[in-house]
């Protein structure tokens, strides 16, 4: 992917950029990301401090999966509309990450269509959110010595109570269990590289790659297993789109004697 972007940039070299430059700019952008353990979205406000550096304020929202998750289809005896599910999964896990950080531009765009390369890092709290998953289970009846499915019921997954996979008819609607949400506080750190390739100075189009590490106070019960985690390391690639605008600049006051007024 990076090789392709570099080739595009190389092809465009030499085309002089005649657009008006915005040297002292703030940033507002949104991102969509694919992570090694899920996916997410985010919003960023970047406040320009110097020509090449910004303070960035991010808020990300991520869906995190357990590494042992495997989706399977419902029983062939189920309705065609029955939803796939992960056998043994007890909770959906979402993570809210507000953060503050620093971004530095190491290569600027000199020609139209070239790349700007930046690195950034940020830290902040993590707020883990779990919601129980409900399943549709078969109610089995016996008639003349034969087992028949006579109805279904909606329950949370309990391995002791539902040891056989054939009892599950599919995943229940996602809204079931919102009254049982639990919160798990933690901390996170994120670092990455940004490759900004927009041909319009007022717009942001960028591909970012990086990693984020989350640490929670205790294990997050995603699966019905003893191997749930409280530490999560995620690799990500994301597309960022946004716009820049002139930062407000307050001119210094000069006294009648020609001296700079500091207050």
Instruction: Write the pLDDT tens digit of every residue in 62-91.
Output: 999 998 888 776 655 555 445 677 878 889
3.30.479.30, 3.30.450.70, 2.40.160.20, 3.40.50.620: CATH of 2-71+84-130+173-261: 2.40.160.20
Contact between 211 and 191 under an 8 Å Cβ cutoff? The reply is yes
Helix (H) or strand (E) holding 12: helix 2-12
Give dist(CA 114, CA 152) in Å, integer: 59
Give dist(CA 24, CA 106) in Å, integer: 16
> pTM for this one?
0.75
Instruction: Write the pLDDT tens digit of every residue in 100-151.
Output: 999 999 998 877 668 899 999 999 999 999 999 888 777 766 777 776 666 7
Instruction: Write the pLDDT tens digit of every residue in 200-229.
Output: 878 899 999 999 999 999 999 998 887 899
Task: Please tell me whether residue 8 adopts helix, strand or coil conformation.
Answer: helix
User: Could you give the C-alpha distances from 89 to 114, 184, 214, in angstroms and in order?
Assistant: 46, 18, 21
Q: What is the pLDDT of residue 195?
A: 95
Give dist(CA 258, CA 263) in Å, integer: 15
**Least confident piece of the model among 65-69, 173-177, 183-187, 258-262:** 258-262
Instruction: Write the pLDDT tens digit of every residue in 44-55.
Output: 999 988 888 999
Of 200, 190, 187, nearest in space to 56 by CA? 190
């Amino acid at each position: 992917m990076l090789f392709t972007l570099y080739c595009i940039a190389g092809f465009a070299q030499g085309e002089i950029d005649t657009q008006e430059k915005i040297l002292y700019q703030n940033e507002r952008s949104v991102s969509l990301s694919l992570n090694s353990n899920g996916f997410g979205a985010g919003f960023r406000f970047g406040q320009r401090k110097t020509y090449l550096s910004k303070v960035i304020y991010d808020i990300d929202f991520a869906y995190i999966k357990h590494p042992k998750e495997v989706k399977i289809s419902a029983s062939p005896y189920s309705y065609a509309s029955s939803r796939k599910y992960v056998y043994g999964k007890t909770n959906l896990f979402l993570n809210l990450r507000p953060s503050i950080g620093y971004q530095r531009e190491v290569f600027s765009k000199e020609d139209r269509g070239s790349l700007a390369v930046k690195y950034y890092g940020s830290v902040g709290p993590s707020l883990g959110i779990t919601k129980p998953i409900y399943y549709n289970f078969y109610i089995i009846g016996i008639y003349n010595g034969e087992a028949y499915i006579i109805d279904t019921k909606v329950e949370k997954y309990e391995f002791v109570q539902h040891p056989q996979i054939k009892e599950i008819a599919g995943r229940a609607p996602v809204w079931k269990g919102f009254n049982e949400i639990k919160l798990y506080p933690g901390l996170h750190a994120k670092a990455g590289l940004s490759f900004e390739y927009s041909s319009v100075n007022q717009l942001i189009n960028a591909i970012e790659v990086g990693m984020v590490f989350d640490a929670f106070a205790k294990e997050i019960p995603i699966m019905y297993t003893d191997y749930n985690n409280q530490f999560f390391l995620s690799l990500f690639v994301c597309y960022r789109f946004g716009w820049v605008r002139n930062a407000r600049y307050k001119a210094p006051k000069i006294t009648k004697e020609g001296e700079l007024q500091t207050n």
